[in-house]
Structure 1
Amino acid sequence: MTSSLASLPAKTSAGLLLRRPPPVVLRTPRHHLRSPSYSTSAAASIPPSSPPACTLSSLDHVVLTVRSIKDSVDFYTKILGMAHQTYPAPSDNTEHHALLFGGSKINLREFKVGQNKANPNSEPKARTVLPGTADLCFMTDQDVTDVVGELQTRGIEVLNVDGHAPGQGLGKKVARRMGARGPLRSVYVRDPDGNLIEISNPTT
């Protein structure tokens, strides 16, 4: 499997201007403040109408815990056109793996038995790290209707979105969803670990 969706014509997103969202004001409901069962943590003690600790502007990267670095790299590069990057960890100089696309990055962490135990080379990390627990949406400039055919040509099952059982040649493949900036047309596949991967176009 050597061909890639990246071989199809695609527009660059380098020229897109992302508008910074307005500051968000967190408000603590008054009935929560009065409830005896409400948490007494520092977050709960923030008075109403306090400004946030900071206002986030964008997502830089996510970390995927995978069973096999090789299988994941093959899928995301050969099927979804991402670039594979290796780099030394600043803490111990061990080789780390990442996937690059657009202006974002996915760091790959290979799952090992006992990984939830303290490990100075991978701290801090999520409380529970397991392969197959992610649900991610990616944007493409290629029409998702064409993407369905390209995926199937490469032996990738495109999931039905209307309840039909898989493998019967039936079922709707393209769904309407709501994304961060508006409505989407989306198709779904699974990566080698079973993570749900949504591939989308903006629509009206």
Structure 2
Amino acid sequence: MIDRMDHLVLTTAQETACIRFYVEVLGMQLETFGEQRKAFVFGAQKINLHIAGKEFEPKAQHPTPGALDVCLIASQPLEIIRQHLANHHIDIECGPVMRTGARGPIRSIYVRDPDLNLIEIAEYV
């Protein structure tokens, strides 16, 4: 019935810092669409951005900055990602550790974005 995920919505209380993190640190493309909507585009997916208190309808019942826990698959080896994060002064909260992804074993590191969402960055092993 369901084939894949197309996008998800991230609610932020810190728009500028959030955009910097997802664009400069994670390398996503910032897209503006509609009248003033923004999204981070990567691969065949995107993350729509909502500003806390100014969300678009319809929305989650209780949109909250810092409630996201997501796993992103890296396009480069995790060691390169780790160095890139260090160059941007992003602390690794946990890892590398072995986990299970949708298609098998993954090796992951965990970081926090400016709203303290948990961002898992992984590679399949």
Indicate whether the TM-score tops 0.5.
yes
- 1:79 and 2:25 are equivalent in the alignment: yes
Deviating more after overlay: 176-185 vs 121-130: 121-130
Deviation at 1:124, TM superposition (A): 1.7
Pairwise mapping of residues 14-33 of structure 1 onto structure 2 (< 5 A)?
none
The one of 60, 63, 66 aligned to 1:126? 60
Q: Name 2:81's counterpart in structure 1.
A: 147
Give yes or no for contact 1:64–1:131 (8 Å, CA) kept in 2. Answer: yes
1:146 positional shift: 2.7
**Greater relative contact order, per chain length (Cα 8 Å cut-off, separation 6+):** 2
Matching residue's letter, 2:45: S
What is the distance in 1 between the residues matched to 2:72 and 2:86?
A: 18
How much has 1:73 moved relative to structure 2? 1.1
Q: Which has the larger radius of gyration?
A: 1
Structure 2 residue 37 is the aligned partner of structure 1 residue 96: yes
The residue identity in structure 2 corresponding to 1:135 is D
CA distance in 1, matches of 2:75, 2:58: 35
Tell me how many residue pairs correspond in the alignment.
125
After TM superposition, give the deviation of residue 71 of structure 1 in Å: 1.5
Q: TM-score, normalised by structure 1?
A: 0.59
CA root-mean-square deviation: 1.3
SS in 1 for 2:64: coil
Answer yes or no: is the 8 Å Cα contact 1:145–1:174 preserved in 2. Answer: no
Structure 2 residue identity aligned to 1:198: E
Deviations 1:160-192 (A, max 9, x none): 3xxxxxxxxxxxx30000000111000110000
Cα distance in 1 between the residues matched to 2:58 and 2:19 = 24
Q: Assess if the C-alpha contact under 8 Å between 1:184 and 1:200 holds in 2.
A: yes
Distance in 2 (CA, whole Å) between partners of 1:180 and 1:66 is: 27
**Deviation of 1:69 (Å):** 2.1
Cα distance per residue 1:100-144 (max 9 Å; x no partner): 0000000000002xx6xxxxx822211111100000111113111
Sequence identity, in percent?
Answer: 38
Q: Which residue number in structure 2 is paired with residue 158 of structure 1?
A: 92
User: Structure 1 residue runs of 4+, over 3 Å off?
Assistant: none
Aligned partner letter, 1:106: I
One-letter identity of the residue aligned with 1:66: T
Q: Which residue of structure 2 lines up, in the alignment, with residue 190 of structure 1? A: 112
Paired residue for 2:9?
63
Aligned AA (1:82)? M
